[in-house]
Amino acid sequence: MQCRRRITLSISNPRVEADEGDLLSLDVFPDMTLEALQNLIQAEAHIDPQAQHIYHNGQLITDKNKTMSDLGIADHDMLALHVRDRHPQIEPGIRGPPQPARPIQQDPELIRLQILGNAQLRAELQRQQPEMANALEDPQRFAELFNASFDRDRRERLERQQAIERLNEDPFDVEAQARIEEMIRQERVMENLQNAMEHNPEVFGRVHLLYADVEVNGYKMKALVDSGAQATIMSPQCAEACGIMRLVDKRFAGIARGVGTANILGRVHAAQIKIGNLFLPCSFTVMEGKNVELLLGLDMLKRYQATIDLVKDKLIIQGEEIPFLGEADIPKGVEEALEEEPKVPGPAGTTIGGRSGVVSPPSQSAAAGPSGSRPAAAATPQPAPRPAAPQAAPRPAAPAQSPFPEEAVQQLMALGATRERAIRALHQTGGNVEYAAAAIFEDF
């Protein structure tokens, strides 16, 4: 004689009335199949089996032929029963007016249960939308945030479509067609960014510089290994600490020109440097304006036939393997400079470094709404500002002062932004017009 197992079903459809509110207790047998369990639920709670979605330990049960024993359902286990309403289908032969394509809103509860049962999806949601991830245990709050996000995306898509339709009213307006072209280009840029963040998230990670421990004249330091630098460079402060400042040949003084300019104080023709267990003669160009004490350039690397082995994460010189420093041991001066780079708005409230491409999560100040508890991306949608039609007259308000070129401001205003929004976008992106245009396009 088989032993009965008592299970409890948590019903997520509030319109279903069971004996214990949203909980339903049933007696099942080990050899009972999922299909038989669905028929039992239909008899007890009057729920169509086609609308039943049963989850065990966060995983959707799909094989109706598996038994309770096969599924690992034990006595007093809790199962989640999510009821999805069946949408009416259009009868064949009956056609209505053509409807524009629109995104289909998914069931928030089904999405929530799928994320709960998939650790990878949960981690991705935590990275992109932390507040929604924190609401996974609260079905009502999660549904509220999910629907708000869906409505916001739908509204922005509609706004863009309406803007293009207004600009298309006069197909021979060259300026209007140029605006349409720019809007379409920006949309492709954002799609490309979204695809990259979804399928190749590793390209947005921070790439740390290569440092190794070296020693010059008994003075220990962390040297930056840079095969893109032509010469080995030392800062004046480091030269003083090493006691070789007195050897600087000032006849080699000058100005280094590249991305910027820096003063070259001179050159030390020969000094001994210790790398690992090797003692090697080296020449140094003493230069101001660098954030590193010592930079091992291509002249040093080629002279000793050095190899940068990124698989081993080591610098190999004459058979000597010198490990590169870990992230925690890297000097903070150069790394902290990346924090001051221009930021570009990314999906789901994230920001992306304009030079490094590093993705940062939403900040507390940007994520907090009026009450300080809800992110702007998930807040109740407000009417978004619509881009002005080409024939709209400018408002007679006093123009806002801008530290940026007027030409850059006018280019952004041509996309439909107000002057104040254009200046604010330039401030946010460090004056980069293309990034500012992408930020304005997000508002549409």
State how far the Cα of 171 lies from the Cα of 149, in Å rounded to an integer: 34
For the cut 50, the answer to whether the pLDDT of residue 392 exceeds it is no
Confidence of residue 82 (pLDDT cuts 50, 70, 90): confident
Report how far residue 297's alpha carbon sits from residue 390's, in angstroms, rounded to the nearest whole number. 55
The superfamily (CATH) of domain 211-329 is Acid Proteases (2.40.70.10)
> What are the pLDDT digits (tens) for 23-69?
778 888 888 888 888 888 888 888 888 888 888 887 888 888 888 88
Checking if the pLDDT of 373 tops 80, the result is: no
Return the closest-CA partner of residue 12 out of 77, 109, 108: 109
Residue 322 near residue 255, CB atoms below 8 Å? no
Whole-number pLDDT of residue 442 = 58
Q: Where are the alpha helices (DSSP H) in 200-318?
A: 236-242, 298-303
Q: Tell me the pLDDT tens digit for each residue of 119-144.
A: 877 887 887 788 888 888 888 888 88
**Alpha-carbon gap, residue 271 to 77, rounded angstroms:** 74
Residues serving a catalytic function are 226
CATH, domain 5-83, list 3.30.930.10, 3.10.20.90, 3.40.630.30, 3.40.190.150 = 3.10.20.90
Q: Where are the domains of the chain?
A: 5-83, 139-205+340-444, 211-329
**pLDDT at position 358, please?**
63
DSSP run (H or E) holding 37: helix 34-45
Q: Model-level pTM? A: 0.45
**pLDDT tens digits for 295-352?**
999 999 999 999 999 999 999 999 899 999 988 888 876 555 545 566 767 665 667 7
* 3-state DSSP assignment of residue 375: coil
Cα 262 → chain centroid: 35
Nearest-angstrom CA–CA distance, 230 and 216: 20
Amino acid type, 89: Q
In this prediction, residue 364 carries a pLDDT of 40
